[in-house]
Amino acid sequence: MKFINLYLLAVTTILFVNCSSKQEVTTLKDAYKNDFYIGTALSADQIEEKNIKVDSLIQKEFNAITAENIMKSMFTHPQKDKYDFALSDKFVAYGEKNKMFIHGHTLIWHSQLAPWMEKIADSTEMKAFMKDHITTIVSKYKGRIKSWDVVNEALNEDGTLRKSVFLNTLGEQYLVDAFKLAEKADPKAELYYNDYNIEEPAKRAGAIALIKKIKEAGGKVDGVGIQGHWRLQSPSLEEIEKSILEYSALGIKVAFTELDITVLPNPWDLKGADVNQNFEGSAKMNPYPKTLPDSVQTQLAARYASIFKLFLKHKDKISRVTFWGVYDKQSWLNDWPIKGRTNYPLPFDVNLEHKPAYDSILKLKKTVE
């Protein structure tokens, strides 16, 4: 009898261990916890935790955060001798409280500059600005913000350098200087070059050349951020995969930093995220003002599934996948490139409910060991 009882105990223990080693996952961050960070971009209201339901969703589903706007220079450095870190401090504190990976966005970008920055025309003044701006911000959050978009969107579509106020005053050297200053301010932070459409061949070649030049000149580049403002049919999975492989071959990490998928008509064949492009609206350009048809929901779900399947194939090269917004209502695509349209680009709908797109991403990782 004693032997039988011991046998039954052993069998029960084995069954328990086997059952507990496989468990059904119910959130994105848990499903992909052994693969890469799952992140989202937070608005000012979300940073200030103004909506309990939204806050609950953020904490449940994501383990990495980026500030959608409040760390851009027009907000953090509104005047030459004045910084405003009120919301940035709350953003970092939010990430720390919830044990999230915190990403800084962005240090040097031609857009959303404070007006006084746009007037800098002298190279000496620009160098002084860059040194003060980067050193002050990165040093303030040293050891707390784990990675930075050091330079954002420095390239044209053909891969040449964008004629920004930084290029006009300092030439290509500003790229090297930016990364060197960021490394000096926090040697342990991961430093990224971030841009849209850099999975397209010409722009990808330009980004690769840019990163090589920075590294050869002594700048530290730890990774590249592919924004991922994509469409239902493009870019192709082949081009995305080529990009992962070619950037990884540089010895750097690959992150997908601003992922969303537009489902609306695009007669101008716009790609990426040039926030300065705007067009007149019409009913034809806003075909789903109230709800997204099931047929399009299915297409969106299939697109997300195929993308994440590719990400999983190359998970050893990918550090983070961040959605650009928590849910559809928040998305910047409701206003770009036509104001007032209703878009549906994210895995959560306007009511914070799972969409088929969410289910398709989760289904790829239904069980974890």
Active site residues per annotation: 153, 258
Q: State the distance between the two ends of the chain, measured CA to CA, in whole angstroms.
A: 35
The C-alpha angle 120, 139, 143, rounded to 5 degrees, equals 145
Three-class secondary structure of residue 13 per DSSP: helix
The C-alpha atoms of residue 44 and residue 325 are separated, in whole angstroms, by: 12
Cis peptide before 337 (omega within 30 of 0): yes
User: Residue type for 311, please?
Assistant: F
Beta strands in 119-222 (DSSP E): 147-152, 190-195
The C-alpha atoms of residue 200 and residue 240 are separated, in whole angstroms, by: 8
> Residue 355 to residues 158, 328, 330, 359: CA-CA distances in angstroms?
36, 10, 15, 7
Q: Is 284 exposed, middle or buried (0-12, 13-18, 19+ CB in 10 A)?
A: exposed
- Strands 37-42 and 23-24, by their bridges, are unpaired
Q: What are phi and psi of 195, to 5 degrees?
A: -165, 165
User: Which residues make Cβ contacts (< 8 Å) with residue 249, sequence separation at least 6?
Assistant: none
User: Residue type for 221, please?
Assistant: V
